[in-house]
Amino acid sequence: MDLLKKHYEKIVLGGVLLILAVSAALLPVMISSERDELRTKADAIINLPPKPLAPLDLSTQAVTLGRLEAGLRLDLANSNKVFNPVLWQKMPDGRIIKVQTGEEIGPRALDVTKQTPLYFQVSWDGDSTNDAGVVRYVIGVVREASTEVAKRRKKQYFVNVGDKNDAFQLREVKTAADGGTVLLLDLTDTGEKATLAKDKPFKREDGYTVDLKYDPENKKWTNQRVGGALKLGGEDYNIVAITKNELVVLAKANQKKTPVPIVSEPVK
């Protein structure tokens, strides 16, 4: 105990020196660790991956470019009322119609209310065998779209194999897969091939009739064909074509053709 009392200061000093020596020994390790930590934080800040830029909104520029490409069109023919005042036309019944676009009267004001197909039909109506064993076939033809009224009724042809007429040529008679007999024809007008059985006639669309209405004059026409005559606004017109999608009328005065769209479905 006396030794401890005599050397207390030396012992404390030795302990302090030991702590200082250990601290001095650990100082490089601590500095290196601190340096690594600082480097890691700096890299995280400096090498941070950039966020992608949001897409540019070019809608305003696109609209502007579209206007520049379209250009400015000054309409002095239709919408301008300084040089082209609105036309008002009196109808036969006394009504007055404002003609703003030019389609309120005339052929473009026609409406197709009904469209009916017209068919070219060929049927096997019968056959007979003469004393020599030669078979003659009775074949009926109906041309619903013909401009000649007589041809719209059925016309029967009595033919042998190989015979040709204004409607068809009987090319061959053969046995079908079901055991029945069929006639093979070449149609004269189109060269199309047709197959006939007694219970299965040949049929194709060859034209149309239409029902029309003309609201400006409250007029209606039914079953109009190609060649039909119309009177619209005091002008004479003829129907020169009817297809699945449009009707074409011809003005007699100036030979101008006007297409009229058909939006209704054909009635069969």
Predicted pLDDT at 64: 86
pLDDT band at residue 51 using 50, 70 and 90 as cut-offs: confident
Specify the number of domains making up the chain.
1
- Mean pLDDT estimate for the chain: 83
Which residues, 6 or more positions from 118, have their beta carbon under 8 angstroms from its beta carbon? 144, 145, 205, 206, 207, 208, 209, 225
Q: What is the pTM of this model?
A: 0.58
Average pLDDT rounded to a whole number, residues 94-116: 77
pLDDT band at residue 91 using 50, 70 and 90 as cut-offs: low
Predicted pLDDT at 82: 67
Predicted pLDDT at 94: 67
Integer angstrom CA distances of residue 122 from 139, 251, 255 = 7, 36, 37
Residue 78 contacts residue 84 (beta carbons within 8 Å): yes
The answer as to whether 141 is a domain residue is: yes
Predicted pLDDT at 266: 45
The answer as to whether 188 is a domain residue is: yes
The answer as to whether 261 is a domain residue is: no
Cα angle value 75/80/85 (rounded, 5°): 145
- Which residue in this structure is represented by tokens 């206007």? 67
The radius of gyration of the chain from alpha carbons, rounded to an integer in Å, stands at 49
Residue 87 predicted with pLDDT over 80: no
The answer as to whether 184 is a domain residue is: yes
d(CA 106, CA 19): 116
C-alpha dihedral (147, 148, 151, 152), degrees to nearest 10: 60
Residue 78 predicted with pLDDT over 70: no
CA–chain centroid gap for 167, Å, is 37
| Paired tokens of 10 | 């030396």
Residue 266 backbone dihedrals phi, psi, to 5 degrees: -60, 140
The answer as to whether 150 is a domain residue is: yes
Which contiguous run of DSSP H or E holds residue 230? strand 229-232
Domain range enclosing 198 = 120-204
Integer angstrom CA distances of residue 22 from 16, 17, 130 = 10, 9, 138
Q: Which pLDDT tens digit goes with each residue over 164-206?
A: 999 999 999 998 888 888 999 999 988 999 999 988 999 999 9
pLDDT band at residue 212 using 50, 70 and 90 as cut-offs: very high
The answer as to whether 137 is a domain residue is: yes
Residue 61 contacts residue 51 (beta carbons within 8 Å): no
Predicted pLDDT at 86: 67
pLDDT band at residue 27 using 50, 70 and 90 as cut-offs: confident
The answer as to whether 170 is a domain residue is: yes
Q: Which pLDDT tens digit goes with each residue over 218-238?
A: 889 999 999 899 988 778 999
The answer as to whether 69 is a domain residue is: no
d(CA 97, CA 75): 23
Query: Is 170 or 23 the better-scoring residue by pLDDT?
Result: 170
